[in-house]
């Protein structure tokens, strides 16, 4: 398998449970907010929730195999995640309190790389059940699994448009990695980038008018933007160092991304047109994987500044950088709880299980 294609799988393999940690409360948040994340603090990778106001941390999964990649449904009622508990990667879903953990894919081939539809009714995902990576779709309960791409080349990284009427994805069907688009039923597949260089898909803008992606067409990784029909492709970063990974502010005016222009990975911010690029983290260790808080006031990111991978939070201008997880094990893959009406998950204090030697 092409090494570039392994990137998505490698992220799965490194999916980097129950105790409560006492952290410094983030009292400046506009409302109570919860994140899901992955931690190896109990000896293997498990999924946790943290309430950023109370700092209560609750373990959701408890399995000897690795669990990771938590992704909230847009309506906030479920968390989908990847698990190796069946001796292959499967996609599971659970309630936000950790109950009702259910294997959605139930297939001997690897299933991973999933994405919720905006209405929370469908999940697009990548499956190796046909001997190559294909993009499938299923209902939120796992029923109706259907191969959308049906191509002998590898297809992966499905990314829903905000309206839910399109899915962008990456494909090797032209001999290199290109960005494609299709309807949710698999019809109308079209190559958007049409470039001999490799490209990686990143998120759509909140209004669905733009798609960000990474391209090495300039001999290094740069962040590009384009319209959903592939027109108006423009290099936003224009820097000789590599720039990668994007997250849009909720109003679509700002983009955070990772850059190696300072000799290490840093979190940068820029306007949506690429102007006013600024280093937010300014730290000698690697910082990256930044995602915005829903109201645009905060950013969470991963950092190695403490000698291991920790989850940090900061204001949108880079001030107030605070370690949320403070644990000697690796903590990563944070995901904000979507804002929603109705009951919220209750985080309870659980005592650690202690095994006594005879």
Indicate the helix (H) or strand (E) that contains 122: strand 122-127
φ and ψ of 5, to 5 deg? -70, -25
* Cβ–Cβ < 8 Å for 314, 278: no
**Residue 295: per-residue pLDDT:** 85
The C-alpha atoms of residue 36 and residue 13 are separated, in whole angstroms, by 19
Indicate the helix (H) or strand (E) that contains 169: strand 167-171
Domain assignment present for 92: yes
Residues of the chain with pLDDT under 70: 1-32, 339-358
The whole-model pTM stands at: 0.87
Domain assignment present for 41: yes
Using only C-alpha atoms, what is the Rg of the chain? 20
Domain assignment present for 115: yes
Domain assignment present for 98: yes
Domain assignment present for 355: no
**Residue 147: per-residue pLDDT:** 98
Q: Indicate the number of domains in the chain.
A: 1
347 Cβ contact partners less than 8 Å away, ≥ 6 residues apart = 34, 49, 50, 51, 54, 56, 57, 58
**Residue 53: per-residue pLDDT:** 86
**Residue 200: per-residue pLDDT:** 94
Domain assignment present for 247: yes
**Residue 244: per-residue pLDDT:** 95
Domain assignment present for 348: no
pLDDT, tens digit, 9 for 90 and up, residues 327-343: 999 999 999 998 654 44
Domain with residue 166: its CATH number is: 2.120.10.30
**Residue 21: per-residue pLDDT:** 34
Domain assignment present for 357: no
Q: Which residue segment(s) compose the domain that 226 sits in?
A: 3-336
């Amino acid at each position: 398998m092409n090494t570039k294609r392994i990137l998505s799988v490698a992220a799965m393999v490194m999916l980097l449970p129950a105790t409560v940690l006492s952290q410094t409360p983030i009292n400046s948040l506009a409302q109570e907010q919860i994140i899901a994340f992955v931690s190896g603090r109990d000896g293997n990778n498990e999924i946790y929730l943290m309430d950023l106001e109370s700092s209560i941390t609750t373990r959701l999964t408890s399995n000897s195999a690795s669990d990771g990649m938590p992704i909230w449904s847009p309506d906030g009622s479920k968390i989908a995640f990847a698990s190796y508990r069946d001796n292959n990667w499967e996609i599971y879903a659970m309630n936000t309190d950790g109950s009702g953990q259910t294997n959605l894919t139930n297939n001997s081939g690897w299933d991973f790389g999933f994405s919720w539809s905006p209405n929370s009714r469908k999940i697009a995902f990548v499956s190796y059940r046909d001997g190559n990576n294909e993009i499938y779709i299923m209902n939120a309960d796992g029923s109706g699994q259907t191969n959308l791409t049906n191509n002998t080349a590898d297809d992966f990284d499905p990314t829903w448009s905000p309206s839910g009427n399109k899915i962008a994805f990456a494909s090797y069907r032209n001999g290199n990695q290109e960005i494609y688009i299709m309807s949710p039923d698999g019809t109308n597949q079209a190559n958007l980038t049409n470039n001999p260089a490799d490209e990686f898909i990143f998120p759509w803008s909140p209004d669905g008018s733009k798609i960000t992606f990474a391209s090495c067409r300039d001999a290094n990784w740069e962040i590009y933007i384009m319209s959903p029909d592939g027109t108006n492709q423009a290099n936003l970063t224009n820097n000789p160092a590599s720039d990668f990974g994007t997250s849009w502010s909720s109003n679509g005016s700002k983009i955070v991304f990772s850059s190696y222009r300072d000799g290490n990975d840093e979190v940068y911010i820029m306007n949506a047109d690429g102007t006013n690029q600024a280093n937010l983290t300014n730290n000698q260790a690697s910082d990256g994987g930044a995602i915005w808080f829903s109201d645009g006031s905060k950013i969470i990111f991963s950092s190695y500044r403490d000698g291991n991978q920790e989850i940090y939070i900061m204001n949108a201008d880079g001030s107030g950088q605070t370690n949320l997880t403070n644990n000697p094990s690796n903590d990563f893959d944070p995901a904000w709880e979507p804002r929603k009406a109705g009951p919220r998950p209750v985080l309870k204090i659980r005592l650690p299980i202690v095994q006594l030697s005879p």
